Amino acid sequence: MKKNMGGFDKAIRLVVAAVVAILYFTHTISGTMAIVLGIVAIIFALTSLINFCPLYVPLGINTCKKENK
């Protein structure tokens, strides 16, 4: 699996995941919205940690600045 996420992309995803977590734990979001956003936040955090987004592959997107080896 080749890396296809750059640093800026990873940072944005982690910030979004953190904001969703804060909104959830402060009870700003709840119910179905909290579940959906929580799942999205978990996916964002995981893809940021492994530097790979499966959705980028069929779309041909690569935000990684370095050449993949």
What's the pLDDT tens digit per position in 5-49?
999 999 999 999 999 999 999 999 999 999 999 999 999 999 999
The DSSP symbol for 67 reads P
Burial class (CB in 10 A: 0-12, 13-18, 19+), 2: exposed
Burial 42-57 (b: 16+ CB within 10 A, else e): eebbebbeebbbeebe
- Which pLDDT does position 69 carry in this prediction? 52
Give the whole-angstrom CA distance, residue 16 versus residue 44.
Answer: 8
